[in-house]
Amino acid sequence: MYDLSSVLDFDALEEVRPGSSILLSGPAMTGKEQLAYDILADGARNGDGAVVVTTSDKAQNVASEFRDRVPTLENAQLGVVDCRGEGGSEQGVIDGVSVHQVSSPGDLTGIGIGITKALEGLHNSGRTRGRLALISLSTMLTYTDKKTVFKFCHVLSSRLDAADYIGVFTIDSGAHDQQTIQVIKQAFDGLIEVRDAEGGGREGRVLGLANEPTNWKQL
């Protein structure tokens, strides 16, 4: 089981089943990306492998951000799939982090190959547990249609399920129509929603991972 409750204090997140994929949804500037990193970093501190699929950050920046959060990060514990299409030659193992470049956020085969290599690297270093974050689905949706993104999420979730990993996928709820969000949601086992709280700060709730949706709660 994966315990995400030290990052997000919800009972529903105490025992997340291996193989679960979770959509992390909220408007812009509500810290979804940071939450996703926190979930991966928290696992890495306890020895879990980590894979970051990024459509906006340079692989090196992801790696150094990760090192700041996890000073004990070991070699071959983090894999980054950089889908910006600007990475050029920064491939392979760089400072103990395995980096894979993909031509664009719309290149699903390339992303799949990158993820496969990252998972293989973690597996070869003996890690049987791991967490993957994809940041963000909103960017992918600007490169390809919702049908393709839905199928991609479903297939990737199945792959993570077979590996006993968990996945966290971010989406900007304000950037898409309601129907698109409803469709994408269906590719996941659970949903974490965040929003700005009325009196300042932000709040969140969890759906799909326990029997009942949780109440909104200050984060």
Partner 1 sequence: MSESDSPVVLIVEDEPDVAETYKLWLQGDYEVRMAQNGDEGLELLDESVDVVLLDRMMPGLSGDEVLSNIRERDLGCRVAMVTAVEPDFDILEMGFDAYLSKPIRSEQLHDTVTNLLERSEYDSMLQEYYSLVEKQATLEATKSSAELAESDQYTELTEEIAEMREGLSDTLGGIENDDDFIATLRGLDDGDDN
Task: Report in angstroms the alpha-carbon separations of 38 from 65, 110, 125, 212.
Answer: 11, 26, 23, 25
What CA dihedral angle connects 70, 203, 54 and 149, to 10 degrees? 140
Site size for partner 1 (CB under 8 A): 26
Q: Minimum CB separation from partner 1 for residue 113, in Å?
A: 6
Selected from 5, 14, 67, 113, the binder of partner 1 by CB under 8 A is 113
The bridge status of strand 190-196 relative to strand 130-135 is unpaired
Q: How many helices (H) and strands (E) does the chain have?
A: 6, 10
Indicate the residue among 44 and 163 with the shorter CB distance to partner 1.
Answer: 163
Longest dimension (CA), the chain: 48
Please name the residues in contact with 60: beta carbons below 8 A apart, sequence gap of 6 or more.
Answer: 90, 94
Which of 116, 125, 142, 218 contacts partner 1 by CB under 8 A? 116
Find residue 135's DSSP bridge partners. 54
Provide φ and ψ at 43, rounded to 5°: -70, -40
10-18, 70-78, 134-142, 154-162 -> range binding partner 1 (CB under 8 A): 154-162
Among 18, 27, 31, 112, binds partner 1 (CB under 8 A): 112
Contact between 213 and partner 1 per CB under 8 A: no
The dihedral sign for the CA sequence 145, 147, 151, 153 = positive
Q: Show the binding pattern over residues 60-99: x = contacts partner 1 (CB under 8 A), - = does not.
A: ----------------------------------------
**Which part of the chain contacts partner 1 (CB under 8 A), choosing from 50-58, 159-167, 195-203, 208-216?**
159-167
- Separation between Cα atoms, residue 130 and residue 167, nearest integer Å: 9
Q: State which residue, 7 or 108, has the beta carbon closest to partner 1.
A: 108
Q: Which is nearer to partner 1, 125 or 186 (CB)?
A: 186
Query: In this chain, which of 68, 155, 196, 217 binds partner 1, going by CB under 8 A?
Result: 155
What's the rounded Cα separation, in Å, for the pair 207 and 44? 25
At closest approach, how far in Å is the CB of 160 from partner 1? Answer: 9
Q: Per CB under 8 A, which of residues 175..204 are in contact with partner 1?
A: 177-179, 182-183, 186-187
Contacting positions for partner 1 (CB under 8 A)? 107-109, 111-113, 116, 120, 147-148, 150-152, 154-155, 158-159, 161-162, 177-179, 182-183, 186-187
